[in-house]
Structure 1
Amino acid sequence: MPFTQLAGATAAAKALAPTACTTIEEIGSTGIGGLTLGFLALTVTTVVMVAKAANADPERRKYYFCNTFICGIATFAYFAMLSGQGWTAISGCRQFFYAHYVDWLLTTPLIILNLGLIAGQDYVTIAAVCGADVLMIISGYMASVSVVTTVKWFWYLFGIGMFLPIIYSLARTFRETVIMRKDPEIMELYGKVAWLTIIIWCFYPIVWLFSQGFASFSVSFETVAITIMDVIAKCVFSFMIIAAHDALGPTQQTAHSREYV
């Protein structure tokens, strides 16, 4: 009886094991073009952020440093993908760029940190939201590389379960902190960058659904879509913060008190 059970378990494991791929659905010229444009946009933004951080006062420099590493890490990830690195073949013989997940694992917490700094949120809450974000990215990666369909969708649901409190925190918890500061310029800035982030981030699980999930999107279409979202979520986000340079400085009350220190 135990031998029969062992044989059955072995047969089930073999049935679930991925078959060797004779051909792999890889990125095409359109996708490579998208990666190239994304790399250039992120590189330029990184250089601008470095220049702004070097010339900014300490009060504003923290925002520009966050933007520098957000775009800089993404630049490295896009260079790796353009160089033929940072990918593997997953179930369904489809090219999967895990470099995206390395990028997101590092940059999305920095985006949350930057939003938290703008809002004036306490660091414990920021850390909690960043923790949920890390679990979300890990869940998305595990869903992408899972062989068993049921396991794949459970990982996807775990990721969505982490995603919802992140969106709630950015739309409600951080916003309430901004309102309590009673600074109209900061309220306007936070409203713009937070909703930009929320809207763009909502498209990521949708793209995953029709690419890694149902395999309805080609690898090139998926890559272009992710590149567009990354450029908006990182480059546009960074330049919106630069545009609010005056609002990010010390308040008039703080500046007045420093004159007598």
Structure 2
Amino acid sequence: MPFAMLAGASAAAKALAPTACTTIEEVGSTGVGALTLGFLALAVSTVVMVAKAASADAERRKFYFCNTFICGVATFSYFAMLSGQGWTAIAGCRQFFYARYVDWLITTPLLILDLGLVAGQDFVTIAAVIGADMLMIVAGYMGAVSVVTTVKWFWFLFGMAMFLPVVYSLARTFRETVITRKEPDMIDLYGKIAWLTIIMWSFYPVVWLFSEGFASFSVSFEVVAYTIMDIISKCVFSFMIVSAHDSLGSSSSAPSQAREYV
């Protein structure tokens, strides 16, 4: 019976597979402008983070290294998209930038690691949240390239099922850990960057629904929306950590797993 179901799904996929596109809906001038802005903002942020990491002590350097690779990987992704690379045509003859998903698969775990380091969370919990996050990104990609509508929405639901524990962990688990440290500056910093992340990440599924999902947004509008969210969730996030430079020097910013031996 399962084999018959798989065979049926495979047959449906072949039946619905798009023929060679004569025209493809591609990003327009507005979208190209957004990609340019995103590339420049992320590139400048990367340079600043490298400079901060080079001049920081070991305690602060770990935060700046995370920020460097967050912005650096995203810079590469935006350069690829701006150069006409990292995309393919999906069902409906629509331009799909898979380079964005490669970016997210690397940078969102680094963002969670950064948040975990600020909170002083143990590495096992951080790793578990990162695992759920990576499954969420993979599900989003699979849904975007799916040909069968039913399969697409199952992938979307799988992604949302992984998104919920990520949000819960950032809003509750990590927050409870940083509160136990009783350091007002770090509690305030974590609250700001955690809610910035939660709010911005909550917009990504909405854009996905109306772009990769229903294809209601134009490719250019999709690109503009994702670019704005990427700049805020990566560049603004990184500079918020930089602004708390003095607070990051506390020895108690190390994960709780390491502190239990002190």
TM-based fold match above 0.5: yes
Within 1, Cα distance between the matches of 2:219 and 2:137? 20
Instruction: Name the CA distance, whole Å, in 2 between partners of 1:152 and 1:10.
Output: 14
- Greater shift, 14-23 or 28-37, is seen at 14-23
- CA apart distance, 1:14: 3.9
SS at match of 1:89: strand
| Partner in structure 2 of residue 43 of structure 1 | 43
1:121 counterpart residue number: 121
In 1: Cα distance, 2:78 partner to 2:206 partner = 21
Match of 1:104 in 2: 104
Cα drift, residue 250 of structure 1: 2.1
Q: Deviations over 1:219-251 (max 9, x none)?
A: 000000000000000000000000000110125
Deviations along 1:39-89, whole A, 9 cap, x unmatched?
A: 000000000000000000000000000000000000000000011100000
TM-score with structure 1 setting the length: 0.92
- Whole-Å Cα distance in 2 between the matches of residues 107 and 86 of structure 1? 17
Matches within 5 A, 1:108-187: 108-187=108-187
* TM-score, normalised via structure 2 length: 0.91
- Does the 8 A contact of 2:17 with 2:91 survive in 1? no
Q: CA deviation at 1:9?
A: 9.0
Equivalent position of 1:52 in the other structure: 52
Tell me the equivalent position of 2:22: 22
Cα distance change, pair 12–227 in 1 and its aligned pair in 2 (3 A): closer
1:28 and 1:85 map into 2 onto residues whose CA distance is 15
What CA deviation, in whole Å up to 9, does each residue of 1:112-160 have, x standing for no partner?
0000000000000000000000000000000000000000000000000
SS of 1:92's equivalent in the other structure is coil
Q: Which amino acid aligns with 1:184?
A: P
Q: Which amino acid aligns with 2:187?
A: M
Q: Partner of 1:24: helix, strand, or coil?
A: coil
CA distance in 2, matches of 1:70, 1:56: 18
Structure 2 stretches of 5 or more lacking a match?
Answer: 1-7, 255-262
What residue ranges of structure 1 are gaps of 5+ in the alignment?
Answer: 1-7, 255-261
Q: How far apart are the structure 2 equivalents of 1:163 and 1:229?
A: 17
Q: Distance in 1 between matches of 2:28 and 2:146?
A: 24
Max Rg structure: 1
Identity among equivalent pairs (%): 79
Partner of 1:82 in structure 2?
Answer: 82
Distance 1:18 1:177 in 2: 50
Q: Report the Cα offset of residue 18 of structure 1.
A: 1.9
Q: CA RMSD in A?
A: 1.8
Give the equivalent residue in structure 2 for 1:69. 69
- For 1:242, the aligned partner's letter is V
* Matched length: 247
Q: Which secondary structure state, in structure 2, belongs to the residue aligned with residue 33 of structure 1?
A: helix
> How much has 1:15 moved relative to structure 2?
1.8
Q: Give the 3 Å change call, closer, same or farther, for CA 225–12 of structure 1 in structure 2.
A: closer
Give me the whole-angstrom Cα distance separating, in 2, the residues matched to 1:206 and 1:197.
15
Q: Stretches of 4+ moved more than 6 A in 1?
A: 8-11
Partners of 1:111 and 1:17 lie apart in 2 by: 36
